[in-house]
Structure 1
Amino acid sequence: MTRFLTWCLLLLLLMAGSAVAQSSEGEESRWFTLDALNSGLGEPPEAARRQTPRESLRSFLGLTREGEFAAAAHLLNLSELPPEEQASRGGELARQLASVLQRGDWLEPSDLPGRRDAMVEDPSGQHPLAGQPRRNLRLTSLDAEGETHDIRIARYRVGEDDPVWLITPDTLAFVPVLYATYGPSWLEQRIPERFQRKLGMLQLWEWLAIPLFLLLVGLLGWAVHRVTAALAARLPAGGLAKRFVAQVPMPIAFIAMSLLAQLLLDGVVSFSGVATATFRVLLIVIMAWGMGLAALRLVDTFLLQMTHRLVGEIDDTRHRDERRLLTSLYALRRGIILVTVAAVTVYILAQINLFGTLGLSLLASASVLTVLVGIAGQAVLGNILSSFQVSLAKPIRMGDLVVFEGQWCYVEGIFYTFIRLRSWDERRLIVPIKYFVSRPFQNLSAKDARLYRRVTLTLHLSADVECLRQRFIELAREEEDVIEPEKLECHVTAQHEATLEVSCYLMTREPIGGWVAENNLREKLLAFVRDEHPEWWPREVVALDRHDITTGSGPS
């Protein structure tokens, strides 16, 4: 019995020890344990609130904004410094870090967790870290000297004291490097102190400097645009260089504006975080847009040059292989545009670091975004897919002659969302691709441009068809667009009470020329009947009986 009680007691002790160890391990995962913290600074002031990440960052920004850098040093983990240096170097590190945060990025304390354990609160449960306490958070990332440095805040505890959130020692180690990049510029160091007071989100001098900054950049863009346009006007007409330069004044101007703005921000003037973050995003977007547009204009120039050299005028008189080549060139252009837009978008997102900050949110709401994009862009996406379908299957090609909804048109352009048709009277029909491929149409150039035409005449029953046939063959052989004379035919195709219908068939080189030849032959045949055989004209025969002749009465 005694041995049994002994074993039970040992089992209970082991279970209690395991529970204590697990509890201790769970508590340790919620903060970093230190033997001492900022012993060279003394007691923290009441304004230095450090219980949550949000309070800690808000206190740091508020104290440094008021110039109380010694008090702001209590928001830093200075454990890597000797205690005798913490008081002197802590305030300087706080000042430099505040300057870096002011110009390097726009931090909003409300974006940080308001809980002491920084637990991610996500009622939907889609966030991968939902319900987990955290002890280390990344505030932002800044580039300096070719490297990316994270600014982090972490949770620390000394003995039985309450845990606090402080800027990590790893962050403080490279603050001087970041300060050399994001610190006050040459111009700002010479601005009187009275102009450095805060007025809203910006300092007073920034409200005056930003309009001048934008004006200077805008003037450069205007000058570059004028110079580029003047250069295009001086180049020889018809050349490849002229065509390219004439299309790029706007992209070149925006690239020059972006480069000048970046140069000024790097070496002459620096603004507060809100302005700097806005300008950086705009400069990245403008630079990427300008370079992408310039690249597309270069591709367009080469395609246009190849079009004029290989195909020339867009109609179906050209060989079908040349028209197929032009269709493939337009398909290549659309593919290049799609790749360029995707590359520019990825570049912009990567440069402004949206993947790191918004990746989890985008992943969590991917299904919602997919539904919204699918609903809002259904028509556009349908037209784009139909465009690639037309480019691959080639039911029509550039220069083909089609009959669409009763109108004769040449296919002049196949674009992402629409087809441009040129009618015979030089009008342009803009037809959505999805609508075009969902309607039946005639492609008169699908296999061969040759086409049968028919001339129909209505004559009297006494007309000599053989005589008319010989005259038709003679006249048809004289027409330039009539080919294959052995296929000329002339027959009676219908008979009525007092008339007969004579149809003449001819093979023409291409549809438009055939239409002209048909009209010419109709006019010449009508002239032949009028001048040489007027008795062939249809006429109404009225029979009079003997009574009508005697009395002199007749039809009224």
Structure 2
Amino acid sequence: MKISLKNLKKFLLPILIFVVSLTISMLKTTFYGINAELGRIMEKAGAILLIASFAWAAIVATHMAKRIFLRHTDITVADNLHSRKLYTQYTIIERIIVFIIILVAIAFVLMSFENIRRIGISIFASAGIAGIILGLAAQKVFGSMLAGLQIAFTQPIRMDDVVIVEGEWGRIEEITLTYVVIKIWDLRRLVVPSTYFIEHPFQNWTRTSAELLGTVFIYTDYSVDFDRVREELTRLLESSQLWDGKVNVLQVTDAKENRVEVRALMSTRNSSDGWDLRVYVREHLLLFLQREFPDSLPKTRVYVENNRPESRNSGSALNS
């Protein structure tokens, strides 16, 4: 019952506007009796208010329909891929419907004026030229809108997706018909046109799943005991709630003349946990190496051998 009353309250304002428009329409003869010009103004005002009330009610109904369809979706849970997919589609569809409602309402309001109606008829009479002009002028606008529709149904991105765009790591915060807002990790907002995600390559870390593999690279000396480092990695992961318990690997991935590259591979439930776990493992592995293998930093080895005869003779003279 509370939900029903709350929903009905949102229709109060459009209903009030509708009642005012009907009242003005019923009293228009009275206004004409007082002043013909005032009567025409009030008649137009009543028609505009009537259109506005229907448009407002349609927008409210669209918002309510979206909430009803999404009432069982929750994008705050860890496994929210299906919820984010539905939320993205219904959000863009809602904005398309609202845009169409507003456009139609404005058109009806403008066509209620005789002068504008005549202009509209003349434009339709020369629809070919007008269509070409409007098409050229609004090419980018309609291109962005079509890209927004394509994003809604093909979904290269979804709400709350983790992406890397223009070298910036962030989450999809808002998707509109013409642009997308990305919340960068340092709380900046990156705004890009919808066409960007159709025309340019980008990284989507949560396209099919929020799970992610994290890597930590450490460079050590050849003298390090890798089995002990592997045991320490296992201990660190098992003691952290960020690890999902699936992937725990330590491998020597490269060996140069003065260093060894060690890669620690771990899995997490999402990218945020992945970042925090990588930072945690990197720091504590370095502390472990400092504590257990203090000479484990990469070294440059130089071997000097002197075979000159005079050096050997001078050495023998000194010994004698």
Q: TM-score, normalised by structure 1?
A: 0.49
Instruction: Tell me the secondary structure at the aligned position of residue 310 of structure 1.
Output: coil
Distance 1:280 1:433, change over 3 A: farther
Report what 2:155 is aligned to: 394
1:333 CA displacement:
0.7
Q: Residues 131-530 of structure 1 correspond to what in structure 2 (within 5 A)?
A: 241-242=5-6, 245=9, 254-255=17-18, 257-268=20-31, 270=33, 274-304=37-67, 307=70, 309-313=72-76, 317-341=78-102, 343-345=104-106, 347-348=108-109, 360-485=121-246, 487-530=247-290
Distance 1:360 1:340, change over 3 A: closer
Identity of aligned residues (%): 25
Alpha-carbon contact 1:248-1:294 (below 8 Å) kept: no
Instruction: Tell me the secondary structure at the aligned position of residue 326 of structure 1.
Output: helix
The one-character-per-residue Cα deviations of 1:354-382 (angstroms, maximum 9, x if unpaired) are: 89856652332212321332233222211
Distance 2:51 2:194 in 1: 30
Alpha-carbon contact 2:29-2:39 (below 8 Å) kept: no
Distance 1:453 1:257, change over 3 A: same
Q: Which has the higher contact order (CA 8 A, sep 6+)?
A: 2
Instruction: Tell me the secondary structure at the aligned position of residue 488 of structure 1.
Output: strand
1:530 CA displacement:
1.6
The one-character-per-residue Cα deviations of 1:380-416 (angstroms, maximum 9, x if unpaired) are: 2111111111112121222322221122222233222
Distance 1:267 1:278, change over 3 A: closer
Alpha-carbon contact 1:244-1:298 (below 8 Å) kept: no
1:521 CA displacement:
0.9
What is the identity, as a one-letter code, of the residue corresponding to 1:323? R
Distance 1:541 1:401 in 2: 44
What is the identity, as a one-letter code, of the residue corresponding to 1:490? L
Alpha-carbon contact 1:244-1:297 (below 8 Å) kept: no
- What residue ranges of structure 1 are gaps of 5+ in the alignment? 1-235, 551-556
Instruction: Tell me the secondary structure at the aligned position of residue 172 of structure 2.
Output: strand
What is the identity, as a one-letter code, of the residue corresponding to 2:198? V
Distance 1:540 1:362, change over 3 A: closer
Instruction: Tell me the secondary structure at the aligned position of residue 453 of structure 1.
Output: strand
Alpha-carbon contact 1:455-1:518 (below 8 Å) kept: yes
Alpha-carbon contact 1:481-1:510 (below 8 Å) kept: no
Q: Residues 39-188 of structure 1 correspond to what in structure 2 (within 5 A)?
A: none
- Matched residue pairs, number? 308
1:347 CA displacement:
4.4
Distance 1:271 1:361, change over 3 A: farther
Instruction: Tell me the secondary structure at the aligned position of residue 253 of structure 2.
Output: strand
Distance 1:355 1:425 in 2: 50
Alpha-carbon contact 1:383-1:416 (below 8 Å) kept: yes
Instruction: Tell me the secondary structure at the aligned position of residue 272 of structure 2.
Output: helix
What is the identity, as a one-letter code, of the residue corresponding to 2:289? V
Over aligned residue pairs, what C-alpha RMSD do you find? 3.5
Q: Which one has a bigger Cα radius of gyration?
A: 1
Instruction: Tell me the secondary structure at the aligned position of residue 298 of structure 2.
Output: coil
1:455 CA displacement:
0.7
